[in-house]
Amino acid sequence: MATPLTDKKKQVVLTGNSAVAYAMKQIDPDVCAAYPITPSTAIMEEFSSYYADGKVSTELVTVESEHSAMSACVGAAAAGARVMTATSSQGLALMWEVLYIASGMRLPVVMAVVNRALSAPINIHCDHSDSMGARDSGWIQIYSETVQEAYDNLFQAVRIAEDHRVLTPAMVCLDGFITSHAIENLTLIEDGDVKDFVGEFEPKQSLLDTGHPITMGAMTLPEYYIDFKYEQSKAIRGAKEVVIEVGREFGERFGREYGLMECYRLDDADVAIVVLSSAAGTTKVAVDRLRDQGKKVGLLRPRLYRPFPHEEIASALMGVKAVCVLDRADSMSGFGGPLFTDVRSALYGRDSAPKVIGRIFGLGGRDYKVEDAEAVFDELYNVLETGEAGKLTGYITI
């Protein structure tokens, strides 16, 4: 429930979940099919209240599992509806096969993913194992640092996913509990301005367009399958430009511009941390502390993770001498986390690229403090002094 706009800065305080539910109310999607799971439960709980109170015209489909939730989303989107849902952790895992069907059928479903660890052991707290597992599912992934960003990202995700150059589903990720259950200041957008920004969904093709009957989700044999995938791959790669366009337009309208990533005091930095979502905020405090001591440290926070803006990220890091990529998920490859391998791969082959190490942190909600970030910067200075990357991958906060 939103707090009225009463204070002088025209701000409200909401939890991440309330802000996402409020954004969904303002977007007023045609169909929402969902099955609640901690820590994203409050999103559907509050959205259901808006539905019950007649505040949205959405068709709310309460299903018996997340597999069914995503299946219903696929059906509705194929029929030409604007579709949204939300989930976390095991819920996202249960949606697994249907995620690929949504992206392969080029259906612009928008889903809030409140990041939570995967079992076993069972744990309800934050890490990125859930959405990182879905990083190759053909969905766009945008990661949010704050409640404000999660709220703003949802509107942009609708525009990006539905763009006819993209037509690809999108996840907006926010950190479980840390962001989903914390109240923070944010500025809300007026309902009418949201409507103007997101506009009406105009499907390129729809099963209900009986004047132009089509088949969707048909079987394709070797004659066609790879060509579908080629087109899909081209579309998600092209989504990067649309993310930039939409972020710029959002900034012009509402004063908060978003790009592919955020670079914080990175320009003249010798060493840098790369990290997603809320941990970036804590890292910024460490950066400021060390800058006050005259140390040239910086931060790069990717906002768009899929498609991976490899050129932009690599270029932004080229002036840096040593980088640590912090992953809140372990890919269990024996070679660090997914963000580490992506960033390192993006830099490979460039002359005088920085040394890159990777550290897993914060799994299952383990706290990541300013001191943890400072210790990482210390380690990076050690890499600089010795000229050796030393231990390439490992864990911190244990």
Partner 1 sequence: MAEYTEVRWHGRAQQGVVTAAKLLGEAALREGKYVQAFPEFGPERMGAPVRAYDRLSDEPIRLHCQVKNPNIVLIVDPTLIGTLRADDSASGLTDGTSPDAVFIVNTTHSAGAMRRELGLGKEAKVFTVDASKISMETIGRHMPNTPMLGALAKVTSIVKLDSLIDNFKENYSKKFSPRVIEGNVEAMKRGFEGVKGE
Query: For binding to partner 1 (CB under 8 A), which residues are involved?
Result: 1, 3-4, 6-9, 11-13, 124-125, 145, 175, 177-179, 181-185, 278-279, 281-282, 284-285, 288-289, 292, 367-370
Cβ nearer to partner 1, comparing 177 with 381: 177
Minimum distance of partner 1 from residue 251's CB (angstroms): 18
DSSP classification of residue 353:
P
Minimum distance of partner 1 from residue 13's CB (angstroms): 5
3-state secondary structure of 233: helix
Compute the C-alpha angle 244/246/249, nearest 5°.
Answer: 110
In degrees rounded to 5, what are phi and psi of residue 140? -70, 140
How far apart (Å, rounded) are the C-alpha atoms in residues 108 and 85? Answer: 12
Beta carbons of 179 and 147 less than 8 angstroms apart: yes
**Nearest alpha carbon to residue 269 among 217, 316, 209:** 316
Cβ nearer to partner 1, comparing 129 with 180: 180
Cβ nearer to partner 1, comparing 88 with 278: 278
DSSP string over 83-98: EEEEE-HHHHHHTHHH
Minimum distance of partner 1 from residue 73's CB (angstroms): 28
Half-sphere exposure for 298 (CA within 13 Å, toward CB): 21
Beta partners for residue 60, in sequence order: 32
Cβ nearer to partner 1, comparing 180 with 331: 180
Torsion of CA 16, 152, 186, 84, to 10 degrees: -40
Beta partners for residue 86, in sequence order: 112
Minimum distance of partner 1 from residue 71's CB (angstroms): 30
Cβ nearer to partner 1, comparing 22 with 368: 368
Cβ nearer to partner 1, comparing 39 with 108: 39
Helical axes 96-104 vs 225-254, angle rounded to 10°? 90
Minimum distance of partner 1 from residue 38's CB (angstroms): 9
How far apart (Å, rounded) are the C-alpha atoms in residues 147 and 283? Answer: 17
Cβ nearer to partner 1, comparing 133 with 365: 365
DSSP classification of residue 129:
H
Minimum distance of partner 1 from residue 17's CB (angstroms): 12
Cβ nearer to partner 1, comparing 288 with 378: 288
Minimum distance of partner 1 from residue 26's CB (angstroms): 19
Minimum distance of partner 1 from residue 124's CB (angstroms): 7
Minimum distance of partner 1 from residue 180's CB (angstroms): 10
Cβ nearer to partner 1, comparing 138 with 176: 176
How far apart (Å, rounded) are the C-alpha atoms in residues 86 and 97? Answer: 16
Residues whose CB is less than 8 angstroms from the CB of residue 361 and which lie 6 or more positions away in sequence, other chains included: 279, 326, 327, 328, 368, 372, 395, 396, 397
Beta partners for residue 175, in sequence order: 115
In the chain, how long is the greatest CA-to-CA distance? 69
Minimum distance of partner 1 from residue 315's CB (angstroms): 25
How far apart (Å, rounded) are the C-alpha atoms in residues 398 and 219? Answer: 48
Cβ nearer to partner 1, comparing 4 with 387: 4
